[in-house]
Amino acid sequence: MLVDKNYKTFKGMHAGGLVYINGKLHVPDTRKGKKVIYVFSLDKIKKIPKNKKSLFYNYKYVLQEERSYKVSIKPSFMSYDYDKNKVLIGEFNKCSNKHTDSLKCTLNKNNRLSWYTIGKENKKLASCAPYFSEMQGAVSFKDPVSSQHFLFTTSSYGIKNESHLHITNISSAECYTDGSGMTNYRELSYPPGLEDMHVSKDSKNVWMLTEFGPNEGSKNNRVVFTVKTEKLVSLSPLK
pLDDT in tens, 81-136: 998 889 999 999 888 766 666 777 877 788 889 888 888 876 666 778 878 889 99
Q: Which residues of the chain have pLDDT under 50?
A: 239
N-to-C CA span, the chain = 44
pLDDT in the model for residue 165 = 93
pLDDT in the model for residue 220 = 65
Q: What is the DSSP string of 200-231?
A: -TTS-EEEEEE---GGGT-SSPP-EEEEEHHH
Count Cα atoms within 13 angstroms, Cβ side, for 62: 22
pTM of the model: 0.88
pLDDT in the model for residue 100 = 67
Q: Let me know: does 159 contact 214? Beta carbons within 8 Å.
A: no
Instruction: Name the nearest CA neighbour of 77 among 50, 41, 113.
Output: 113
Distance CA 223, CA 146 (A): 29
